[in-house]
Amino acid sequence: MPAATDGLGARLLIAAALLIALVTLVVPLALIFASAFAEGWAAYVANIMQPDTLHAVFLTVLTAVIVVPVNMVFGIATAWAVARYDFPGRKLMISLIEIPFSVSPIVAGTIYLFLYGQQGLLGPTLQSWGVQVMFSVPAIVLVSLFVTAPFVARELIPLMQAQGSEDEEAALSLGASPWQTFRLVTLPNIRWALLYGAVLTNARAMGEFGAVSVVSGSIRGQTNTLPLQIELLFNDFNVVGAFAAASTLALIAVATLVLKFLLERHAQ
C-alpha cells in the first residue's frame, strides 16, 4: 500500500531518489542514445540491420530464452529446499549459491575452459566421443547459466524465510495436493520476487561479456553475442555502431520492464 506523499520527508526522499537516478542512470543512458544517433536515424538503422549484428541479437535472445527458465526452476527448487527445511550444510549451501557473483567473469569463462577445453578435465574425453562443447552455442549457454545461477534463488530465499510456511501448511491440512499447494499458494506468494529474479537473470544473461568472450570463440556471424559484437564494432572505430548495438540491449531491458508492468496490471 503506498503511503501518502504529501509529507515533507516523503518529498525529500523522492527528490533525492530522482536526483541520484538522474546522475547515475538517466545521464549514462542519454549518452548511449546520443552516441548511437550521432550520425542520424539512417545510420542507426543501417548499423542495427547489419547481418552480423542481427545474428548477434538472435544469439543473445536465444541464450536468454534458455537461461531464464532453467535458472527459474533451479532458483525455486533451491529456495524451497533452503527456506522450508533444516538440514546439515544448509547455511553452507546458501553461501555457495552466491559464489558465481564473486567470480570475476574472466575467471568464470576460464574455469569452463579448464573443464571442457582440449587441455581441460573433460574436454579430451568428450572430443573422443565427437562432442565439442567449447567455442559453440552450448558453451555460451553454459557460462551464462553459471553467471546468473544465483539470481532467482537469492531473490526468493529471504522472502520465503520471512513469509514462513504457515500458508502452505494450512492448504495442506485442508486437503490440497502438494502440487496444488505450490501452484495456488506458494507461487502467488512469491510471484514478485520470482519476477524480479527473472528480470535480473535476463538482463545479466544478455549483457554478460567477460565470461562469454572466453568460451565463445568470437566467430562473427556464428558465435558472437551482442556484447561481443559491440566490442568488435568498437575495435573497428565504429563507435556509433557500437553504441547503436548497445542501445538495443538497453531497449530489450526496457521491454522486459514493460512486460513486468503488464503482468503486474494483469495480476491486479
Partner 1 sequence: MPMTSLQRRRRVMPGFGLSMGIALTYFALIVLLPLVAMAIKTASLGWEDYWKIVTAPRSLASFRITLTAALAATVVNAVVGLLFAWVLTRYRFPGRRLLDALVDLPFALPTAVAGLTLVTLFAPNGWFGRYLEPLGIKVAYAPLGIMAAMFFTSIPFVVRTVQPVLEDLSADVEEAARSLGARPWQVFALVIWPVILPAFLAGTTMAFARSIGEFGAVVFIAGNLPMVTEITSLLIFIRLDEFNYPAAAALASVLLLVAFLLLFLTNSLQARVLRHARRD
Partner 2 sequence: MAQGSLRTLALAIGVATFAPAAHAEVDTILNVSYDIGRELYAAIDEQFSADWQAEHGAPLQVDQSHAGSSKQARAVVEGLQADVVTFNQVTDVQFLADNGFVAADWAERLPNNASPYYSLPAFVVRAGNPKGIDDWDDLARDDVQVVFPNPKTSGNGRYTYLAARAWAGEAFGGDEAKVTEYLQKVFANVPVFDTGGRAATTTFAERGIGDVLITFEAELAAIARQYGADKVQPVVPPTSLLAEFPVAVVDKVVDARGSRDVAEAYLDYLYQPKAQEIIVGFGNRVNDEAVMAAHADQFPPVRLFSVDETFGGWAKVGEEHFAEGGKLDEVFVAQ
The interface with partner 1 within residues 224-263 (CB under 8 A) comprises 226-227, 230-231, 234, 242-243, 246, 249-250, 252-254, 256-258, 261
Residues 24-63 that bind partner 1 (CB under 8 A): 24-29, 31-32, 35
The single-letter DSSP state of residue 2 is: P
Q: In whole angstroms, give the CA distance from residue 196 to residue 261.
A: 11
> Is residue 104 near partner 2 by the rule CB under 8 A?
no
Between 33 and 182, name the residue whose CB sits nearer to partner 2.
33
> Is residue 230 near partner 2 by the rule CB under 8 A?
no
Q: In whole angstroms, give the CA distance from residue 268 to residue 265.
A: 5
Binding mask 77-116 for partner 1 (x = CB under 8 A): xx-xxx-xxxx---xxxxxxxxxxxxxxxxxx-xxx-xx-
Q: In whole angstroms, give the CA distance from residue 138 to residue 217.
A: 12
Q: Write the secondary structure of 88-124 as one string of H (helix), E (strand) and C (coil).
A: CCHHHHHHHHCHHHHCCHHHHHHHHHHHHCCCCCCHH
Q: In whole angstroms, give the CA distance from residue 154 to residue 95.
A: 10
CB of 151 to partner 1, least distance (A): 9
> Is residue 222 near partner 2 by the rule CB under 8 A?
yes
Between 123 and 150, name the residue whose CB sits nearer to partner 2.
123
**Quick check: helix, strand or coil at residue 55?**
helix
Residues that bind partner 2 (CB under 8 A): 58-59, 62-63, 66, 113, 117-120, 123, 126-127, 130-138, 141, 213-214, 217-222, 232, 234-237, 239
